Chain A
Amino acid sequence: MGLDLVLSVLIVVISTMTVFSRQPFFAVFSFIGLMFAIMIIFMIKGSVILSTVLLLSVGSVLLVTIVQLFMNLDLEKEFQQYYKMNVVPMFGMMVMGVILGVLSLTVFGSKDIFLLKTSQLKTEPLNKVILESYDIMILLSVMGLLGVITTASLLINNEEETYEEEQ
């Protein structure tokens, strides 16, 4: 009850800070803090899959923001080109992987994965939980596979753009 109340107040305060802040980058970072607060709610309530997915999405937003900040700095041109080539595919990998992983879970997986609780990780042996929730393995493998495909396609696109610019 106490922690729920603290989290509720925290969410309201941080969201107000995000929306009504005058500095844009302050807003971005308070937004990331807000997503962490929501992730803590899901962890407390006990959903393994929701907190994992939210962690991935927070990570991707943070990654894009930080890298874009780096790209806006006055760095060497080659360094910037290197990051342009690598960061966009990395990001695409995360997003596409999560989407198609969830689609595969919904289509092929069992409903039990959505009811898996963090409390089960404490009471039951970890191996049993992992074996029962084999859908996580499907999610991770699909993420990896799509990551490779997305990386390859985006790299090819980037190379074509660079070639056109050179021409």
Chain B
Amino acid sequence: MIESFYFPAIILFCIAMAGAILKRNILLSVLCTGLMPLSIAIMYYHFGLTNNKASGTEAALILIIYAALYMAFGLIYVLNFYNKKKSLMTEDMKITIE
């Protein structure tokens, strides 16, 4: 199972989800949420490879692009937030919303 890359992809997804839920740091939350589609992309690609179908690669490609977009815009917003508030914690984000 390990050599098929399903197992590391599942572990990666679980770690990323745990980090996204548990972490109080906005930057780490963004990174963890960006990791989740990447792990699903690995699964899709491997599925397409084993069944010799192009659709798995297509789905993986779309997921990778989604992850890249999410990461990039997330990083820009997080760094702008840091420039304004000088903090990366979610508690300070609440103050901004109020």
Contacts and interface: CB of A to CB of B under 8 A. Distances in A.
Contact of B27 (A11, A27, A98): A27
B12 A11 contact: yes
A131 interface: no
Nearest to B25: A24
Contact of A15 (B15, B49, B54, B64): B15
Interface residues of A, number: 47
A98 B65 contact: yes
A155 interface: no
A138 interface: no
Given A24-B25, A45-B45, A47-B45, A8 B57 contact: no
- Binding site of B, secondary structure by majority: helix, strand, loop or mixed? helix
Interface residues of B, number: 44
A99 B67 CA distance: 12
B61 A102 contact: yes
Nearest to B34: A31
Contacts of A49: 57, 61
Contacts of A54: 64
A50 B38 contact: no
- Binding site of A, secondary structure by majority: helix, strand, loop or mixed? helix
B33 to A, nearest CB: 11
Contacts, number: 125
B18 interface: yes
A154 to B, nearest CB: 12
Contacts of A61: 68, 71-72, 75
Contacts of B35: 15, 18-19, 31, 34
A50 B8 CA distance: 18
A73 interface: no
A149 interface: no
Contacts of B19: 18-20
Interface of B: 2-3, 5, 7-8, 11-12, 15-16, 18-19, 23, 25, 27-28, 31-32, 34-35, 38, 41-42, 45-46, 49, 52, 54, 57-58, 60-62, 64-65, 67-69, 71-72, 75-76, 79, 83, 88
Shortest Cβ-Cβ A-B pairs, 10 listed: A57-B68, A19-B19, A114-B54, A8-B8, A114-B57, A111-B54, A24-B27, A4-B3, A68-B79, A11-B8
